[in-house]
Structure 1
Amino acid sequence: MNVSKRMKRVVACFLIVFFLLLVRLAEIQLFFTESFSKLNINLIQESVNQRTEEVLISDGRGSFLDRNGEALTGKKQPAIVLFPFLITQDWPIKKAADILGISQDELQHELKQAKKPVILSKRTIKDLSKQSVKQINSLKYPGIYGVYMEEDDKPSLASHTIGMTNQDPSLLRSKYPDKNDLPIQTKIGTTGLERTFDEFLLPEKDTKLLYHVDGKGNPLFGMDVKYTAEANSFYPLQVKTTLDQDIQQAMEDIVDKQGLKKGGAVLLDIEKSSVLGMVSRPNADVSKQSTLQNYMLNPIYPGSVFKTVIAAAAIERDAVKPNQTFNCNLNLYGEPGDDKGSLTFDESFAQSCNYTFTSLAEELMKKDETVIEDMSEKLALTDRAGWEGKLYHESDFRQFYNEQSGVIWGDQKDKAVKKAIAQTAIGQKNVKVTPLEVANMMATIARGGEKKQVKIADHIEYKNGTTMVNFKDQKIGGKTIDRYTAQQLQKVLRQVVTSESGTGRRFQDLPYEVAGKSGTAQTGKMSKDKKTLYQKWFAGYFPAEHPKYALVVLHMDTPGDKALTNAVFYDIVKKVHENEIN
């Protein structure tokens, strides 16, 4: 009796499990074939994909151009595609080998080893050209094709600025819940401009060569190879950046040649308030998250570059008397420690005397405790520098990914502490600003006090070159410095270079006249050989009389005697001049 009951239970369990399996099978094959699981996987499409060999020529994603219309991403190079089934055919191998400039044996070897279509590019055939593609296609034999393929490497130029794409099905579905037609393997932007402009760059349709195979990899329907492409004159879209490809390349070459391992440089077009070149180091490596950080958009201790703010406040508030001198044998706290002698205000700025600016800051703070942050705002140093505004349904679209804003005071109580005021005056304590903000401050001074947002993208255009949307120039709101203050700042910034004791005297023999300010900030870190590490800056603009460019160079975590800041700044200015006259 007990045995009979157990048998019934076993049979019942078996039937229940069998029923559940039938339900699951029905879900898979009948009800949810095109939207299976939370990821909305198209099972029919995936089944077809398993029986299809394909060569992706272009993923259909939008691309980036430089300011001259040259491709920064989505570049196409000639390539030859050989399908594996050619090995069993009597195909014109000799003609193909002659066109490609390689032996028949080499082609046969490539095919014998192949389990998937073989792609021959300039990496394997140096002389591959447009003519090669044309001649291969003139053979008109199924299985060998000349095409133009997008480079599959990540962009090596401006990698931090342009950013990266990756496959992330969960992020794709959460970010675009209404775009169920996007395959789960679609790449989306994760950093840089790829991230901020991702919605405009999403592919409409990719371009492929494909053919169907049986279980052994042989052609299922003969040697019929299908070409699929987007027949649309408007998509994919292109983002025309303000970057200059030649200048960007030169800046990266200079930074690397000099050996700057951490930090970078940013160059602005002052009139257009746009980025011509932006370099961050270390190089971006997708396998190392820390390398993806763009230091040009991160707040960093500015050191004496921040004395520009104190100088502006002193000029505006008329805090310096005619012929007044400062005892620069004293350190920032007013104690014996330096040996620069008695200096005027202009000399103090040129030689970066700490005591002058800490004493001025203390005097100014007694009259107005908000004077430092107010002047920082007037100089565009505490607002995000990058372009932001309304773009279609986004009310707060930002061109720069993960751009941060500067900070002056960490604790309002510090405004009543003498040593805290002194440290703040020389760009230490809690003062942190981004190199892009500093570059924008220099551009603001060079323009006579006019504050503008900085652009990295000029417009978005359709595939046929017509404009979809323009990014208009936008001013930064709030108060600005007056014309007189700007002129006086221009004078002292120039004296940093022209003075024989100035901290920028190295730049005197450049083909452009440079104005600017150096900066050295302690990091609180030590090197392996027990040397103090600093953040070393030089920020300026040129030509001094008729400013066109603002440039900031930053070398991070470096011993003072090993800093490459001035060498990099020097070489970039020289290269910009060469680029302009050629």
Structure 2
Amino acid sequence: MPNRIRGISVFILCAILVLLLRLAQIQLLEPESFGKHHINLLEESVKQRAQEFLLDDGRGEFYDKNGRALTGTKVPSLVLFPFLKDMDWDVEALAEILNVTPEEIEAAVRTAEKPIVFGRPLTEEEMEKINRLKIPGAFAVYKETDGKDTIAAQLIGVIGENGKLFRERYPDRSGSAKTPVGLTGLQKGFDEFLIPDENSRLVFHVDGKGDPLFGLHVRYISPANPYTPLKAIMTIDGEIQREAERIADLHKMKKGGIVLLDIETNSVLALVSRPNLDRANPFSGDGSKNFPVEAQIPGSVFKTVIAAAAIEEGIVPPDRQFDCDRPITGEGEAERKLGVLDFPASFAQSCNYTFAQLAKELAEKDKNLIEKYAERLGLLEPVGWRGDVFRLPDFRQLPDEEGGRVFLNDEERRDKNFAALTGIGQKNVRITPLAAANMMAAIARGGEKKQVRFVSEIRYADGSTMFSFPEQRMAGENISPDTAKALQKLLRGVVEKEKGTGSALNRLPAAVAGKSGTAETNRYAGEKQLLNKWFVGYFPYEKPKYALAVVNLEVFADEGSVLPIFADMVKYLHGKGS
């Protein structure tokens, strides 16, 4: 009997000890990250006895170069709490300020189970009048919008609640499964800076039935740190971005993009990707992709690389002629007969035979030459800004950006047929529209290639600067200034010459230099092959200010010309006087 009592006592003591340890775990050790699901018990306990209305998730926001908010716009709003339905309050005075009937307000409150936003956005005067009424449960506050109308949507990127990802990225940081994290685009790249410390909300304590506790006191809770949330100041101009998106939609761009760079600062002024992002299902369909930073088949745009290599390697003397009635193999007749052309005319009219032949000669001279010049023009590595930022080594502004390529392996480098097709931007050649625009900017500058900035600086909440992203050169060699000058003349010839593939752009208010491209893809609609159509260039030719790339992906041969889009952008920017 004593042994039995002793055993029961030990069991009870062990059970009490386990309970005490569990209680310590809940209340002392892991109150903000409990169990395998890392539940924030403090937050959950508050939810059980409070009604909350989120005003701002506390995440840092993006602004355009002129300081206009691109995400998280704050709208003056009227918030009504549902306990108003059980009170006598001055609904008539509120209705008079809003110019609505009292019945409309009462109906909204009567059906509400949680705090709601009522009516249209308020004016500053209306906000002051409403808050002077001091109605418990009726507050005029600034409410963050849902971002449905955000421009440059794919560039800025998507955020979402992902507790597992949050814990992987920030194991030493407090937060919950509902803390928004950057999943794509700049939101992903700048997540370390934008992740919220605390949100802003209205909190009202209730009992189990939802009735008020502690009188009718609603608390406003906001971050205590005056320096957060941080602001990411982008290089894009919101006005230009909106117009670029309008032009893309006007010309019914279904799949593709537009990239506009400021040549002097090598910064993105506008970046459009189509189709639009579906915010209800952000990872479904092509709207989830940012096509300007994805590597595409460039077609004849890549002839710019072959031209640069041929000039520097001295294989195109002024008197050299090419039979452009011949196909790229050199045997038989080409589908598009252009006659006998010199090198500048071959470039202007985009003669495939010329550049297939030159590519083979370059490969015979050195199998790595084509890739060498692609690298010198900045087409192989991602071109977005990267560098050390505080404790973040090799920080990339846009981690989703892809690099380019010329060949897949050494066998392809040694194959003459591969070299010929590579010379006209086919086979395994891939470049991004962003890199193509950056190549044009480098040529316009005299050959110097630079990294592309999307964000110029990070600011504290009070407007002071936390970090400025300097202009930076891209690593590696450049083409020579003489080669750049020769390329400038070739690119101008594409537009200026009567039979140039860009001659439709010759009567614009600003002189354009550039290169067209029509690339065959391995995709078909029925029996019709789909093509990628490009035009990349810069303007004004005499004093270059803008580099522009326009690409329409997977269109039929008789549709989707990008020249009208390019032309409309040139006309808009010239008319803008910027």
Are 2:214 and 1:221 aligned? yes
For 1:374 and 1:282, locate their aligned partners in 2 and report how far apart those are by CA, in whole Å: 34
Task: Give, as a single letter, the amino acid of the residue that structure 2 aligns with 1:125.
Answer: R
The verdict on how the C-alpha distance between 1:30 and 1:477 changes in structure 2, with shifts beyond 3 A counting, is closer
Q: 2:364 pairs with 356, 363, 366, which one? A: 366
Matched with 2:133 is 139
Give the counterpart of 1:309 among 305, 309, 313.
305
1:350-377: CA deviation from partner (whole Å, max 9, x where unpaired): 1101011111222232222222111111
Query: What do residues 189-224 of structure 1 show as CA deviations (whole Å, max 9, x unaligned)?
Result: 111111111111111221111101112111112211
| Alpha-carbon distance in 1 for matches of 2:27, 2:329 | 80
Q: Quick one: which of 519, 544, 548 aligns to 1:547?
A: 544
Compared with structure 1, are the counterparts of its residues 187 and 424 closer, same or farther at alpha carbon in structure 2 (3 Å cutoff)?
same
- How big is the shift at 1:484? 1.3
Displacement of 1:417: 2.2
Normalised by the length of structure 2, the TM-score is: 0.93
Task: Tell me if the contact between 2:77 and 2:120 (Cα under 8 Å) persists in the aligned partners.
Answer: no
Alignment of 1:193-232 (within 5 A): 193-232=186-225
Question: Match of 1:578?
Answer: 575
Question: Residues 258 and 564 of structure 1 are in contact (CA less than 8 Å); yes or no, is this contact kept in structure 2?
Answer: no
AA at the equivalent of 1:420: F
Residue 156 of structure 1 corresponds to 150
Q: Secondary structure at the match of 1:314?
A: helix
* Distance across 1 between alignment mates of 2:65 and 2:496: 34
One-letter code aligned to 2:418: A
1:328 alignment counterpart: 324
Kept in 2, the 8 Å contact 1:451–1:476? The answer is: yes
CA distance, structure 2, for counterparts of residue 407 and residue 45 of structure 1: 49
What residue in structure 1 maps to residue 345 of structure 2? 347
- Tell me whether 1:280 sits opposite 2:273 in the alignment: yes
Q: Does 1:182 pair with 2:182?
A: no
Q: In structure 2, which of residues 243, 264, 269 is the aligned counterpart of residue 271 of structure 1?
A: 264
Q: Distance in 1 between matches of 2:30 and 2:310?
A: 72
Amino acid at match of 2:400: N
Q: Which residue of 1 aligns with 2:5?
A: none
Q: Distance in 2 between matches of 1:45 and 1:395?
A: 34
Match of 1:420 in 2: 418
2:215 alignment partner AA: G
Tell me how far apart the structure 2 counterparts of residues 379 and 526 of structure 1 sit (CA, whole Å).
32
Residues of 2 paired with 1:85 and 1:320: CA distance?
83
Q: 2: CA distance between counterparts of 1:202 and 1:450?
A: 36
- 1:431-479 per-position Cα deviation (integer Å, ceiling 9, x unaligned): 1111111111100000000111111111111111111111111111222
What's the % identity of the aligned pairs? 45
1:137-536 matches, cutoff 5 A: 137-154=131-148, 156-179=150-173, 181-285=174-278, 287=281, 288-290=283-285, 291-335=287-331, 336-337=333-334, 338-528=336-526, 530-536=527-533
Flag the 1:349–1:100 CA change in 2: closer, same or farther, 3 A: same
Do the aligned partners of residues 351 and 479 (structure 1) sit closer, same or farther apart at CA in structure 2, a change above 3 Å counting?
Answer: same
Aligned-residue offset at 1:341: 1.0
What amino acid does structure 1 have at the position aligned with 2:316? V
The residue aligned with 2:562 is 565
Give, in angstroms, the shift of residue 579 of structure 1: 2.6
Equivalent residue of 1:560, what SS?
A: coil
For 1:356 and 1:249, locate their aligned partners in 2 and report how far apart those are by CA, in whole Å: 40
> Any conservation in 2 of the 1:33–1:44 contact (CA below 8 Å)?
no
Unaligned runs of 5+ in 1: 1-10
Which stretches in structure 2 are left out of the alignment for 5+ residues?
1-7
Contact 1:260 1:564 in 2 (8 A): no
Deviation of 1:515 after TM superposition, in Å, equals 0.5
Cα offset for 1:540?
0.4
Q: How far apart, in 2, do the equivalents of 1:145 and 1:23 lie? A: 44
**Cα separation, 2, equivalents of 1:33 and 1:557:** 53
Q: Secondary structure at the residue paired with 1:91?
A: coil
Q: Are the equivalent residues in 2 in contact too, given 1:274–1:455 (CA < 8 A)? A: yes
Q: Distance in 2 between matches of 1:55 and 1:45?
A: 14
Amino acid at match of 2:382: R
**Cα displacement string for residues 463-507 of structure 1 (whole angstroms, at most 9, x for unaligned residues):** 111111111111112221111111110001011111111111111
Assess if the C-alpha contact under 8 Å between 1:448 and 1:487 holds in 2.
Answer: yes
Contact 2:230 2:460 in 1 (8 A): yes
Please give the secondary structure, in 1, of the residue aligned with 2:558.
helix
Aligned residues: 565
CA distance in 2 between partners of 1:559 and 1:574 (Å) = 26
Q: Provide Cα deviations, 1:47-75, integer angstroms capped at 9, x if missing partner.
A: 12121111111111111111111111121
In the TM superposition, residue 27 of structure 1 has moved relative to its aligned partner by 6.1
Q: For the residues of structure 1 that align with 2:375 and 2:201, how far apart are their CA atoms? A: 53
Kept in 2, the 8 Å contact 1:535–1:558? The answer is yes
Once the two structures are TM-superposed, the CA of residue 93 in structure 1 deviates from its matched residue by 1.1
Checking the alignment, whether the CA contact within 8 Å between 2:516 and 2:534 is kept in structure 1 is: yes
Deviation at 1:574, TM superposition (A): 1.7
Q: Is the 8 A contact 1:154 1:164 kept in 2?
A: no
In 2, the alpha carbon distance for the partners of 1:411 and 1:30 equals 59
Q: Is the 8 A contact 2:49 2:205 kept in 1?
A: yes
Distance 1:292 1:298 in 2: 12
Match of 1:73?
Answer: 71
1:31-60 superposed Cα distances (whole Å, 9 cap, x missing partner): 656141134423233112121111111111
Cross-structure match for 2:120: 125
**Which amino acid counterpart does residue 534 of structure 1 have in structure 2?**
L
